[in-house]
Chains A and B, each alone.
Chain A
Amino acid sequence: MFKRLLWHLLCGNKIRLMVALLALISGAAVISALMNLEFGVNRELAQEFRSLGANMVISALSEPADAGGTAAPLLIDVSVMQSLQVLQSSSVQAAPFLYLAARVNSTSNQNVVIAGTWLDRATQLFPWWQVTRGQSVSRADLTRCWIGRNVSRSLHLVVGSKLPIQYGTRTVDLTVAAIVDAGGPADNQVFVNLPVAQDLTGADGKAQFIELSVPGSTEDIRAVQNHLQSLLPGLSVKPIPQITEAEGSLLRRIRFLILSTGILILVLTALCILATMTALAMERRKDVGLMKALGGSMRKVLRIFFAEVGVLALVGGILGYGLGMILSFWMGQRVFGASIMPRWEVLPATVALMLLVTFAGALPLRFLGNIRPAVILRGD
């Protein structure tokens, strides 16, 4: 009897049903898409900011100089990179650096900065580099180098040119493998693999510092810093303030912006559905009156109507969730070029919210209990 009544109510007016369902589905779709996005967007945004490159640096602790000490840069062992292996899994990028100012052995006799690093890592650590017209160089290659744009201009070098370098009494002959447009100081530098720079300076197995690119929020970065500091007690592990501070504050603001826009839309969409459901419930006044006149108790009558809106909310919530997942997936593809995976915990949240909103919308029906059936049936 209960089921049959419910079925008849739902099928009674198809248009009305469609209208209410449409409002519920669209609301649920936006709400679940926003919730899903909120989970996925943090990771994507943190990833976006990794295009800033290194945000942490490991260097030697500066010690007080003895009297008349010279400002020779303190070096660290490259073997430290071994202990960074533990972090590689968490998509932390790292590369050692050793800088020196050497002389170009040609007619110009120009001084140039040589940066020794791992050339195969450079483009990951400096994602904004545009490596033009060149080939990649493996880490073990000791004869080829990358040169900055300005170096190429002022020394008239192209890919394939020879570049003889002299530092003190040591020399090395390099071949230009690629030209780097870095939009920064690296435009004036020559990049070689670390062993080349070590051979020139005689600092075997040493580097000046290690740069790291650590993804995540300010807290994540601090956690990695503390972890590294405990692993490497003799070295200084410091975030690069230009990057980490601005990145942290921007991330916080963008997240807060998306979160607050999301909550605003959530609340207002819920209220819109509430208004729709209230309108639907008000329409049921006549049916309530009729049922009461036929001797139905208020409780029984209300149960039927709440079951009706409950079914609506359930169906609307589930369909809306499906639509919302597609929406957020598409948003992720369109905005970040990465897929934002559906999260199952969003489904119960969406359905619960829809139920809450529809029941709140159906509440005015309760007050109909005070009205005498005759009044309603007369159509007043």
Chain B
Amino acid sequence: MITMEHVCKSYKIAKRNAGFGEAVKALFHRDYEIIHALNDVSFTIRDGEMVGYIGPNGAGKSSTIKILSGILTPDCGTVLVDGRIPYKNRIKHVKEIGVVFGQRSQLWWDVPVIDSFELLKDIYSIPDPRYQQSLEELTELLNLAELLRSPARQLSLGQRMRCEIAASLLHRPRILFLDEPTIGLDAVSKLAVRDFILNQNKTHGTTVILTTHDMQDIEALASRIILIGKGRILMDGTLDDIKKGGGNIDETVAELYRAYDIQ
């Protein structure tokens, strides 16, 4: 179970107007702006739920994921994931979670994918039999057999994403965070990734939290949707709640953004 209560997180950034004179001025005096990435955010996610976390760019999606995965420390509020405080018991916490950053790779570029997996086995201290079992299962479900022997740099984006997802699941995490997992993938790979995530949730009861801009991902995967904008939770409901008006989901979401003025 994941609970976030009254969580806030803000950043200080320097700002400067364009122009040469302004640049010289900034040398001596600098204005700062406080950005409230998260402003009193609260929600609860039960075990085995699949939650789509949506909102425009800069709404606070990444900050939430990073707090839940122990990367960031919130300014205030309480966070509990299966009874652990992520940023306090980092090492214990991250053993139980898997994270996929869609835009970054965790595979070693120049060696066969399987070598990266072997290293992960050591990093997560996965016992031999369990590693073999996980590997076999993931290889079959994600169709990796052909890919494991090639270096990551030779794989297509779709092939690599399948390997990335497998890499994040080798240690059988109970919670999986997916940060834009289908970005830039072709249709076939997208479908394969979605099918696989659904399957993991069904067979292992993995809790899945997914951020994406692809509304088809949300339709296919999320039974519950949390909408965030300007650091606040604006809506927390099911897909049907959002689709009340019916019609195309992209348009509905765009309308929502406009209605809440968070574009």
A pairs with B: no
Question: Which residues of B are at the interface with A, using a C-beta cutoff of 8 A?
Answer: none
Question: Which residues of A are at the interface with B, using a C-beta cutoff of 8 A?
Answer: none
